[in-house]
Structure 1
Amino acid sequence: MTPLSLTESWEMEGRRLAPLLDGICSVVIAATDAALATSMALGVARAQGLRRRVAVADLIGEAPAIEALLTGDDPHGISDSFLYGVSLNKIARPMAGAENVFLMPSGTEAVAHDAVYANERWRRLAAGFHQVGALLVVVANPATPGFADLCAYVGALMPVGETVFPTPQGVPLIAPPAPPQPEPPPATPRPNAARARAAAAEDESSRRRRFLAIVAVLGSIAVAVGAFWPQIMARLPEPVAELITGKQREPDSTTVVVPPTPMDTSVRSDSAKRDSLLRDSTGTIIPTPDSIRAASPPLTVENAADSATASRYAVYFATANTRAAAMPDARVRALDAVALSPVAEGNEQWFRVTVGASSTRAQAESLLTKLRTQKIVGSGSIVSVPYALRLARNVTPTLIPTRLAELANRGIIAYALLQPDGSANVYTGAFESPTQATPLADSLRALRVAPVLVYRTGRAF
């Protein structure tokens, strides 16, 4: 038996450690040796791909192990998607020999620079994988500028290899493994003398009788299975039946990647067409994509003096391109200060979910750790969203549940923060800038609700 090479050992190690990622939906796998990081990532992907969709993104740059497994001849990849707007669904290609695993190659231009590594789009992409329960594996070089930002956006890091490199603060580490060693050649098996003597003493006629009996039983089973084969195949799950018959569906790369995320740069005229998901529109009170650009004048912040004490920090939870897809489930809705905010990026409308409202980053980090421990978020990160639309002020705390329920009946996702004087303010949305709040403000006015743009203040109940 040929001993395993070091890279093969790392792929085996990736398969062994893959269960550590069962509760995680996005991870950076990094090493100073790109070949080891790639091998580990492919091992993780093969094992995790047995039960869910997996996408492997090459931020090394034309990693040979990934290039060797690509199907098709489309040269586009991560660089084309992040820099020029090519659809992620277009660049994701099925991995040879693994139906549930898709590869996102580096593309036609270099990816080892901060314009790709430190691109905030990774945050939205990671949240999208969390939303659908898939796994995003990003293979990266820790020496590349923007590596710390990449890890913060993706939400978890699995370091690989013997060479230790600085790990970003606040990013969960996934079981840094000891480097595996190549397996030594197995020792030549020695015959068991006692077993050999027993076999030699066995009566030839008894062996013949046993053999004939087994053949008869197997023959009966074969006849029975043949008679009921159509019924058996009809009851098998479709993937199992396909595996048995050899009739497999064409791999569908359009369903691997989560709903496409907006570009951080303008899209060139020769870039790919928008995905069909971007043309969806829902929303009880939210404007459609065609009405994103508000005609009303910019909003003015009423309480500019409160900027220093604003509850600006929140946990980023998810982004989706429809309101229905972004709508948090009951477990998330039960958390404090959950904001569903429509935000316009270019000519596209997106819906962002954040949780919490903290005046210090340390408080937000504590909330993020708690949510990760409770398995409510898979990765998550901290965002600064100091602005909100205030719907009511000086509300008696005992009346808050009634007030929030009334707003919910009108399709408004609102939350309350307790003020220093003991009263509560009711808000909706959480925004990075006043301009972001304009579309939601216009929609609220259409419902005859008078919102006021403010720095949100106070704390969760």
Structure 2
Amino acid sequence: MPRAYRLPGLAEIPTAMRGKLPPVGRVIGLDAEAEFLYVTTPTKDTTAQKAQKGKRAKSVPTDSTAKYDVLALDLGSARVDTVASGIEQATLGPDGTLYTVDAKRRVVSVARRFRVAWPQPLPGVPLQLFGAADQRLVVAEPPNLVTAAADQPATSRALPAGSDVAATRWGDLVAVAADSGVVLMDPLGRRDAAFIRLPDHPRALVFSPSGHRIYVARRTEPGLAAIDRYEREEIDGVALPLPATAIRLDPLGRWLLAKPSAGDSVWVVDLPVKRLVGSVPCVWRVDLPAIAPEGVLLVRQGDDVVAYRPDSLVETGRVKGGGADLWTLTAWRPRGAYRGAFADADGSGAPSGGPVASDTAGPEGPMYVQVSTSQNEAWSSEMAQQLTRAGLAARVLDPKNPDDGYRVVLGPYPTRAQAEAIGRKLGRPFWIYQPTPTPALIALVPATGDLKWAAGAAWDVARAAALNGRRVALVDLWLEHPMLHETVGLAPTEGIVDAFEYDVSLTKAAHEIDHVFFIAAGAVTAHAGDLFANPRWKKLHGGFKVEDALLILFLSAGALARLSAVPDGLIVLSPDGYEPESSIGQGIAAAMERGVPLLGVVRERWTPGPDTRSVAPPPGRISASAARRPARRRTRPVVIAATLVAGAAGGWGLLVRGAEHAPTPARPAPAHTPRARPVAAAPAPHADSLSWTVQLAAYAELDKALALADRLNAQGVTPFVTPVAIGGGGRGDATVWYRVFAGAYPTRDSALSARVGLWARQLADRGQGDVLRAPYSLALSRQGGGGVRTDRLRARGIAAVAWDSARLLVGAFETPEQATVLENQLKRAGVSATLVTRMTTTP
């Protein structure tokens, strides 16, 4: 009888599973969409009965190889069906497709409840099976690597001898642990095999969920090596006390499990920071230890199965006697009356036995599968109707701002994994779209030694955010040397320290100046760490979210790491950007690993013109020394990150359009009121800037992006291929997609006209192509001995275009931060690059 348990407490849900199964040999897996649980059971031996029926048969040869029947348990109806008999190998593909191979090498697959007997057998009996995308099967049949499909003949390639073979989740790359390194092979033969030499013999391999990295356990050297599949070279590894004999990753790539070469235990590694959390006693088998999609570690200890939090190795649940059972970890949720027993992330249906456990994982969603986006509402509506007629629940999401389009989407889905599973089955490019909620808590982190400049930048950001009428509060948490009150124009006064440590009302501590409620640092404190860790920040975050207000904190990267609340976004304040390798950069990276998205960088690159608006602070709020200090005209930063998207009212857009806002009437000024500093205005656009372009596609495979770029280039259209890191949620293992842009244009209208031309020349389907502003590119010198050549860059997967006689350009970016992936590729290639705005202006 199958049973279901809810994580992390391993509480059994007795009514969630129905149906009975015979003794099970192993669990193949669970197709969450079709709601099929696939298992194997020993095949009944019928050779004796056949011998008795055959009167002339003197002997019946028997096959000593163990064979199995594959059974499918319908989790909805509790019906059990035999899928295939006499099976020797079976596996589940990434889209839930079941593949089985019998002793005669015949293949049977089941996809979306549809069974297919393949017309052609495999060339040989497989040693390992890997389900791949597009319902392909990748088979390791030493000495061959075979790729097969139901409607195509099998193709074979020589497979090097090795101790272990691994494949990516989608089967587009296979790694073989050879004698002195790792061999990377494309099952479809689109690329030549590559060999990465390692100083020690590899023993075990595993790909990251995105397929970007391969982690390698070595025979004698402690720790794990790591290989970049695109650069095809060894990169930073994972330090461990001893060599590992087996390694596993969780579905999201956050946690790595390694089996020590001595003892029965499992090492737990926090992969984004490559930190060994600790070890837990356990027995290694095919099913356990493993990390569930919810991020819970399950291990087999003696007769029991135990659940742990991987970050602290604190036990969260135990099943007595569960060690003898077979386990599979899944994100599947029962439908109908059983859904409530699992406390689904969307909140529909509460458990009948009581409230939902407080440690249940929170929702990721809503997540949409975006099929297309267009400025043409009628075209988007027609496409959604076509998808609906094809059996897909498609809809159109209206634009949130003037630069947004009408998005054709499927969903929503509660988790990214479910959305990606749907998107992979479409057979066409797709994006995962998550509507950005209006931020309620933003952290401003200086990455410069000029704290006066940073304080002025923080004050400008707060005032710009308040221009649309939203309530904004700015808190000075630079407690070591507070100076934000001087920038604002206040004498030292009660502030956040007084509110947290001496119960002073926040209302009393807040001073409304220029439509911003400013809260100073306040009294000196010896307990700054306790103030940052105070759980009151979480309550403030929730309160501002409910009231649709914005709380902005001015603090250091170290203080942000100790803050009890997780901000909705992070903005770096630095006139020259920041180095990721610096201590501040590492602190920012640590915040992003906590799940804090980097919204942008405030840089000093333009000097805005004078603003005639003069807004005086209210009387009685300025010290005498401040009143005597003349105002100085200062350079003000402008937020150049396009990811600062507005909420419902478009407030964040005013960070770069503040000068367009209607002037605020000046309040009556008291006697001896000092001259107020002018409000920062946005710079005028560069006259030579070709900021606009047309995005035609985004591919998960570089070859497809390069092929489209070559086609555009052959037709006289300048192509830009831009790698971007998508997703990861701060888990350190994002998926790289390759965006293909066509042309560079000075205005949005000219880009729209160019897109029509692409349609007319049949370089893109009518309706295809998103017009967007991506003004930045990386410039490379093509002169002198240090010049670079496009063919050498192309060999490393970098597409460069000749821009003028002196420079090559690479990529097109909406924000400078998007250039990070390509900058790292160029750095590894030994090529120096400068971020520029097309045509000639360095940002």
Q: TM-score range by the shorter chain?
A: 0.3 to 0.5
Q: Which has the larger radius of gyration?
A: 2
Answer 1 or 2: which has greater helix percent: 1
TM-score, normalised relative to structure 1 = 0.32
TM-score, normalised relative to structure 2 = 0.18
